[in-house]
Amino acid sequence: MRGHSDRMIHTDASPPRLALCHAVSATAIGEAIALNLEGEALPDWVMVAPAGPVLRGADGRMFKIADPAALVAATMARGLKLPIDINHAQFLKAPRGEESPAAGWIEELQARDGAVWGRVDWTESGRAALAARSYRYLSPALLHDDKGAVAAIAGAGLVNRPNFSMPALNAHQENDMDKELLKKLGLPETASLADVLAALEKMQTSLNATQTPALSLYVPRADYDAVLARATGAEAALNAAAEGDRKAKAAALVEQAVKDGKIAPATRDFYIGLCATEAGLAEVTKFVGLQPSVFTPSNIGKTEPATQVALNADRKAAALAMGLDEKAFAEFLAAQPAA
């Protein structure tokens, strides 16, 4: 951009302004991403630049990342690894000939949900600084024009005074526990937060469907128990009615068979017992239908008494002369055929 003086701007909360000459654009150093290790393993992937498109610093300045994928492509086009130093020494100390050793090297960049992530190969000094928690934030060095449009990422630094008001990146997001969680969710280790949330939402939807099943397939247990109790009661009533009807039919069948002489009166209870089931009742009914009348019904108690003959004085005298009982003599006379 001809006619404009390019500059490197350190974007700490209270940054010193340094006039450094670059060919095309200025460098903005944004301290935004926390690396809270708490004794955990160092992350392989870290957030290098937070999601935009507008990045607002605590000091009021703004930067724009319109297309994260294009930014990644432009940055990696040179084919160089991006250095991570301490307090942006590569821009503040190296120009003065001072040491600016790398704490790590960004070997790969990816655009994820508007943010830019980098795969880091940490150096021993970087590991030591983070393990001791001497530094806890990652600050990107952004190449931008005078309007704040970011054209490339020049590197990053480990710092302690963040400027961007963005969520912190904690190292535990990349530890073994979270890798196992991603595996359980069926997601790759490079999955973004949005991918995780989408997988959890899907699981929640499935769980809700299980907890609230379709009424065409399931009914509440209370309703089921009520219907079952009603059905059981109705079935018991029907069985009782059927049992009473069967017993009545069995009694009537056996009694008629006795009257018809097809079975002996003494076997009445035996045949009643055979009719204890519908199948038994059917068998007895079939037997009685085929059985001839073989028993003569008893007339005991049904014989009409003989006609009594009244004895006159002569007959009483004859009975007395023959030594006969008057009643027996009267019955004898009654049994004689009429003359």
Residue pLDDT, tens place only, 244-282: 888 899 899 999 988 888 888 888 898 889 888 989 889
Do 248 and 105 have their domain in common?
Answer: no
Do 128 and 26 have their domain in common?
Answer: yes
Closest CA to 53 of 161, 144, 157: 144
Do 64 and 101 have their domain in common?
Answer: yes
Mean pLDDT of 220-248: 83
Contact 88, 139 (CB under 8 A): yes
pLDDT of residue 282: 92
Do 37 and 107 have their domain in common?
Answer: yes
Do 153 and 28 have their domain in common?
Answer: yes
Band (337; pLDDT cuts 50, 70, 90):
low
Of 73-87, 119-133, 309-323, the poorest mean pLDDT is in: 309-323
Do 52 and 154 have their domain in common?
Answer: yes
What pLDDT digit, counting tens, does each position of 288-306 carry?
888 888 765 555 555 555 5
Average pLDDT value over all residues in the chain = 75
pLDDT of residue 299: 53
* Tokens found for residue 339: 């003359």
Return all residues near 199 (Cβ < 8 A) that are at least 6 apart.
Answer: 185, 186, 187
Query: Is the model's pLDDT at 129 over the cut of 80?
Result: yes
Between 106 and 230, residue with greater pLDDT: 106
Do 281 and 310 have their domain in common?
Answer: no
In a domain, residue 180? The reply is: no
- Which residue(s) pair with 157 in the sheet? 85, 139
pLDDT of residue 252: 92
Band (211; pLDDT cuts 50, 70, 90):
low
Query: Is the model's pLDDT at 171 over the cut of 70?
Result: no
pLDDT of residue 164: 58
Asked which of 268, 290, 312 is the last residue of a domain, the reply is 290
Do 51 and 112 have their domain in common?
Answer: yes
Strands 33-34 and 45-49: unpaired
Asked which of 171, 191, 209 is the last residue of a domain, the reply is 171
Asked which of 108, 141, 171 is the last residue of a domain, the reply is 171
pLDDT of residue 260: 87
| Number of domains forming the structure of the chain | 3
pLDDT of residue 105: 92
In a domain, residue 13? The reply is: yes
- Distances in Å between the Cα of 203 and the Cα atoms of 181, 184, 190 are 13, 11, 20
- Cα torsion through 331, 335, 338, 339, rounded to 10: -80
Q: 171 phi and psi, to 5 degrees? A: -60, -25
**Length of the chain in terms of residues written:** 339
Do 229 and 311 have their domain in common?
Answer: no
What is the span of the domain harbouring residue 259? Answer: 221-290
In a domain, residue 268? The reply is: yes
Mean pLDDT of 66-73: 89
In a domain, residue 42? The reply is: yes
- Distances in Å between the Cα of 279 and the Cα atoms of 250, 282, 300 are 12, 5, 36
Query: Is the model's pLDDT at 206 over the cut of 50?
Result: yes
Do 285 and 310 have their domain in common?
Answer: no
In a domain, residue 40? The reply is: yes
What pLDDT digit, counting tens, does each position of 37-48 carry?
555 567 788 888
Do 50 and 129 have their domain in common?
Answer: yes
In a domain, residue 199? The reply is: no
pLDDT of residue 142: 83
Between 316 and 175, residue with greater pLDDT: 316
Query: Is the model's pLDDT at 6 over the cut of 60?
Result: no
Of the spans 154-163, 207-216, 238-247, which averages the highest pLDDT?
238-247
In a domain, residue 133? The reply is: yes
Do 35 and 154 have their domain in common?
Answer: yes
What pLDDT digit, counting tens, does each position of 94-109 carry?
888 887 888 899 999 9
In a domain, residue 298? The reply is: no
Mean pLDDT of 216-236: 78
